[in-house]
Structure 1
Amino acid sequence: MKTKYYNISKITGLFLFLALFSISGCLGDFEEINRNKLRPTEKEIDYDGVASGGYFTDFQKRIIPTRGRGEGTDRINEYQITLNLASDSWAGYFSPTLNKFNNGNNFTTYYMIVGWVDYTYTTMYRNIVNPWFQIRQQTHEVKKDQDGNVTFEKKDIVNQSTYSIAQIIKIMGLHKTTDMFGPLPYNKVGSGSFLVPYDSQEVIYRSFFKELQEAIETLNIYANNQSTLLKNYDGVYHGDVNKWMKLGNSLMLRLAMRVRYADESLAREYANKAITNPGGLIENVADIAMLKSEGNFEYDNSLKLISDGYNDTRMGATIQTYLKGFNDPRIASYFRKGSINNQNDYFALRAGIPMPNNVKAHNSFSLPNIESETPVYWFKASETYFLKAEAALYGLIGGNAEEFYNQGIKTSFQENGVALGDYLTRDAIPASFEDPFNSAYNAPRPSGTSKKWSSASTQEQHLEQIITQKYLAIFPDGQEAWSEWRRTGYPKQILVFENKTNQGILTGNGSNQGVRRFPFPQSEKIQNTENVAKAGALLNGPDNSATRLWWDKNPNIN
């Protein structure tokens, strides 16, 4: 498995070749690509959502690439390239054990490898749209007029509710994708072709909000009579419709806060819908959205093989400075101690350092404390409280920001099975970063923020506290952490040691600059040329990785 990954990384141009010649521009081959041997017969169509149920199990494994027990390494490789060597690194959660990929010119040093960008687009866009489209076909009456125009008409409440769950899953995945690239083919891709015009990120987000609202309302109607749907195919909630409503509302709140700097009125509207909609929010550990091995559902956490099998990732410098500086007991839940010079401690790697002469030099640094059966988290309960804390801090919703903040920390400790102690009342600030082998890689503490809430702090200081604690709570979701860092500038990062960009990226000061987006993939520029060219006008600058997304409008970041 290890050799398979290295072969991929050494011939990254193969990704582009595969993207151009093995991926169809039309969705007509979806059924063969996604064919499931357990798929029901035509006679079973429309029975309790079972007709489309066969697509859900694999669909869910594509949102954060996760393999089923005993499957090959494709999903793990997808996770490594699209997340672990990208957002996980840019957010400071992880750093590669050796900066060997493409001779150090890779995502972790701000170099956008063409094949990797294409692979990311395929993984995070096409692979998510494929099963969603199949479910849409199964749950609607599909009609085509004499001009070839396709329409999708609603069926009964069972099919509508099945599709509503698919909508929530789709948005859970594609909001990550638009937060990577910006504009995407979205509203017109449902017609059956990928070769359609791009929508701006603002249009996509407004569509997300409307679709989530409709999905929640539909599921609420269904839940008035039945509480279970797709039980045998749903690895997240095992068919619990009420929990799907909670996820839909919580996702709505996440997206509402994402757009706060771009459109405050839109953020206020949907933050309030999220907290008042039927179903409620994810606020208890029992309601966490995750893929967890249970019953017939068995998953292998991708980070386990990347860290222990491939030996390709270690604790990042940024998260180490906050966890150690705060004397945070969650550090033992997240990482394992390493041993250097007979000293057992949590040793981290700074991103972008040159590859050492001794290839085993960093093996003793801290590994993620993750096993194959560790759940793959989509949305933790603690995140909800930090979202509410920020919303209350800026008057978008009612409530007390300090209380939400403290509850977020308490819930995170509960999620990790760690005693809270005096964590909330004890002052502490982040630590400086020290490399145990080479002092040239050392860095001063990234921030002077404290974890203890103080009435003397400014609104901006409180925001830094909220986002910093959210960052610690949502680990290891590097994609979400990277998005929140771009949006707010927090938590302040340990800078990449070497910036080898080919995309105009500036290193910044730990709060700004850095990677803001992925460029449009080369495969799209060749296959969907005219629409990609037009999509360039939807950006706030050139099509490179220094251009900020639509929601990336924080006036304090320049």
Structure 2
Amino acid sequence: MKSWKITTLFAVVAIMLASACTKRFDEINKNPFDFTEEELRADYRLMGEPLSQAQLNLLIYNDPPTAQLQQNLNADVFSGYMMAPTPFEGNINNTNYGLLYYWNNKPWQVTYSNVMKTCDFAQTKAKDHYSDFYAWAQIIKVEAMHRISDIYGPVIYTHYGQLNNEMGIDYDSQQQAYYAFFKDLKEAIDTLTHFINTGATQRFAAFDLVYKGDYTQWVKFANTLRLRLAIRISGVDPQKAREEGEAALSHPLGLLTIPADNFYVNISPVTHPLNIMCYTWADLRMSAPMESILTGYKDPRLSHYFVPTDDGVNVYHGIRNGIRISAKEEYSGFSPLVKFDSRILFMTAAEAWFLKAEAAVYGWKGAGDAATNYATGISTSFNQYNITNVDAYMNNDTDKPRPYIDPQNGDNNVPAGDPHLSTITIKWKEGAPVAEKLEKIITQKWIAMFPEGQEAWSEFRRTGYPKLFPVVINNSGNTISTEKMIRRLPMPQIEQVTNPKALARAITTLKGLDNGGTPLWWDLR
């Protein structure tokens, strides 16, 4: 009996304690080092920290193998900037159009998981009371997602997070996506301009890895991004392009203008992923077009981009894309890239001047004079590297890109007179045909944007400039034209598994089959 009473007493006490604990569950189980949502809002961390991560993952900063697949073994190579001496996958890989689906998923996966997701979270938290953070997220999101659209075409943008159990998550066609990009940029520019004009507190500083919380700089970047996208669609949608371009050009805060305005994401203390690819793995070297153009023009930026080979202090060699490589040792002695600091470049002020130069050729209001913009673009790029002899360079009407000689294999040579070797000089000629002016503008823009291969590849596809060398070996199975070169990456295979019905609808918005030879909406070549 006594034992039964004791047991009963313990049971009652346990129930009472449990009840008391249940009433105070949140308080008792709270981690003393956690922050409530209210506390996070107070110092803006609820929105700011995700946007810091979004900036860091525009090119994934702390995972070089993923960064190599996110951009280097597609856009950086396709743009004519770089080439791998490594015969990946038995020398059947992206560099010779043997496209590998498990490589080509990466740009999509990284951007949606690490940028789109965090921007969406920040916007959800910021929507009602923190319009400046909401606008900031819009700009970062457009910067990330136009790159993805320019890789694949259709993207999940305006329907992001809107799952229909029957039909999946719908895509925007590339045209729809671009129109949404313009809308978001306009809203963001208007919001941040209002903050600036009213003298409101600028609250980004603790989280901004690019401009240290300067709203004016973000508006300049957004205006320049708007102009970039307007120029991108100028061939396929000239009315919309002019409307958006002239809006960017007329904005009172202007565009990026000097090297201090360049859009760099500071990933310090982490090293630049290109340094790992080039020096730790020896997977990256100068490209043949870079050798041809920079040495042909006697361009003083050459030594700021690449390191000479062991053959001599002024000897530079680049590797041609899509060649037969038996072993890495064949070409690993060619010119490596310079070592970069802990900043990843996504836009230069020089690009803004070249965008204005092209807009001026088209007669857009507010673009100014094409010749002046072209010259300022070159001088701004020179200033970025503290190079002073810009006048002699700009007045050079003699030097042209050099024929390419592969010292390892003459089958890869591009001799004088080859139609893939440009004959364009540097000096601007006001009476020249529009095509010649465009080639000069884009060639100089291509040089100035290095090492940002994604934008360089997009501009090459849009314009055909600068002239690049076609692959020697084409492993595409006739899906990609050797002469027209690769136009896009196929839609990521992960979407075929997780979102098949929506993907099938998205593919119908393409100009052809879902392969690397089908041009994007804005690509008229």
| TM-score computed with the length of structure 1 as normaliser | 0.83
Distance across 2 between alignment mates of 1:110 and 1:344 = 32
- Tell me the residue number matched to 1:225: 199
Q: How does 1:452-463 map to 2 (within 5 A)?
A: 452-463=427-438
Per-residue deviation, residues 416-462 of structure 1 (Å, max 9, x unmatched)? 12122400112221111111222221113511011111134211100
Contact 2:53/2:114 (8 A) holds in 1: no
Residues 310 and 109 of structure 1, relative CA distance in 2, 3 Å threshold: same
- Residue ranges of structure 1 left out of the alignment (5+ in a row): 1-36, 68-73, 141-154
Larger Rg: 2
Contact 2:259/2:381 (8 A) holds in 1: no
- Tell me the residue number matched to 2:339: 370
Shift of residue 45, structure 1, vs aligned partner: 4.0
1:523 aligns with 2:490: no
- Tell me the residue number matched to 1:386: 354
- Tell me the residue number matched to 2:68: 80
Shift of residue 231, structure 1, vs aligned partner: 0.9
Contact 2:371/2:430 (8 A) holds in 1: no
Which of the residues 257, 263, 283 maps onto 1:312?
A: 283
Shift of residue 292, structure 1, vs aligned partner: 3.0
1:410 aligns with 2:379: yes
User: Which residue identity does 2:333 align to in structure 1?
Assistant: S
- Secondary structure of the residue aligned to 2:310 is strand
Distance across 1 between alignment mates of 2:69 and 2:34 = 31
Residues 166 and 395 of structure 1, relative CA distance in 2, 3 Å threshold: same
1:95 aligns with 2:69: no
Residues 38 and 454 of structure 1, relative CA distance in 2, 3 Å threshold: farther
Distance across 2 between alignment mates of 1:238 and 1:455 = 40
Distance across 2 between alignment mates of 1:399 and 1:273 = 14
Residues 374 and 421 of structure 1, relative CA distance in 2, 3 Å threshold: farther
User: Which residue identity does 1:346 align to in structure 2?
Assistant: Y
Distance across 2 between alignment mates of 1:332 and 1:413 = 12
- Tell me the residue number matched to 1:395: 363
Distance across 2 between alignment mates of 1:60 and 1:422 = 38
Which of the residues 329, 340, 356 maps onto 1:360?
A: 329
Per-residue deviation, residues 506-530 of structure 1 (Å, max 9, x unmatched)? 110xxxx111111112211121111
1:216 aligns with 2:189: yes
Which of the residues 308, 326, 338 maps onto 1:337?
A: 308
- Tell me the residue number matched to 2:24: none
Superposition CA RMSD, Å: 1.9
- Tell me the residue number matched to 1:501: 476
Contact 1:125/1:177 (8 A) holds in 2: no
> Deviating runs (4+, > 6 A) in structure 1?
none
Of all paired residues, the percent bearing the same amino acid is 34
Contact 1:307/1:367 (8 A) holds in 2: yes
Residues 53 and 362 of structure 1, relative CA distance in 2, 3 Å threshold: same
Which of the residues 256, 260, 264 maps onto 1:286?
A: 260
Contact 1:330/1:413 (8 A) holds in 2: yes
1:205 aligns with 2:205: no
- Tell me the residue number matched to 2:55: 60
Q: How does 1:179-194 map to 2 (within 5 A)?
A: 179-191=150-162
- Residue ranges of structure 2 left out of the alignment (5+ in a row): 1-31
1:131 aligns with 2:127: no
Distance across 2 between alignment mates of 1:165 and 1:40 = 23
Distance across 1 between alignment mates of 2:191 and 2:342 = 32
- Tell me the residue number matched to 1:3: none
Distance across 1 between alignment mates of 2:355 and 2:79 = 18
Contact 2:422/2:467 (8 A) holds in 1: yes
User: Which residue identity does 1:202 align to in structure 2?
Assistant: Q
- Tell me the residue number matched to 1:550: 521
Q: How does 1:154-169 map to 2 (within 5 A)?
A: 155-156=128-129, 159-169=130-140
1:481 aligns with 2:449: no
Shift of residue 48, structure 1, vs aligned partner: 5.4
Residues 232 and 190 of structure 1, relative CA distance in 2, 3 Å threshold: same
- Secondary structure of the residue aligned to 1:291 is strand
1:348 aligns with 2:318: yes
| TM-score computed with the length of structure 2 as normaliser | 0.89
Distance across 2 between alignment mates of 1:243 and 1:480 = 20
Contact 1:348/1:366 (8 A) holds in 2: yes
1:242 aligns with 2:216: yes
Residues 193 and 298 of structure 1, relative CA distance in 2, 3 Å threshold: farther
Shift of residue 228, structure 1, vs aligned partner: 2.6
Per-residue deviation, residues 280-312 of structure 1 (Å, max 9, x unmatched)? 21111221111236xxx5342111000001110
- Tell me the residue number matched to 1:423: 393
Residues 354 and 193 of structure 1, relative CA distance in 2, 3 Å threshold: farther
After TM superposition, the structure 1 stretch with the greater mean CA deviation from structure 2, 489-498 or 405-414, is: 489-498
Distance across 1 between alignment mates of 2:451 and 2:486 = 19
Contact 2:262/2:349 (8 A) holds in 1: yes
Per-residue deviation, residues 53-111 of structure 1 (Å, max 9, x unmatched)? 111221111112223xxxxxx2x12221121111111111101022x211111111112
Shift of residue 535, structure 1, vs aligned partner: 1.0
- Secondary structure of the residue aligned to 2:346 is strand
Per-residue deviation, residues 454-511 of structure 1 (Å, max 9, x unmatched)? 1342111000000000000000111101000000010010121211114700110xxx
Residues 518 and 552 of structure 1, relative CA distance in 2, 3 Å threshold: same
User: Which residue identity does 2:294 align to in structure 1?
Assistant: L
User: Which residue identity does 2:351 align to in structure 1?
Assistant: E
Distance across 2 between alignment mates of 1:280 and 1:83 = 30
Shift of residue 275, structure 1, vs aligned partner: 1.3
Distance across 1 between alignment mates of 2:363 and 2:222 = 22
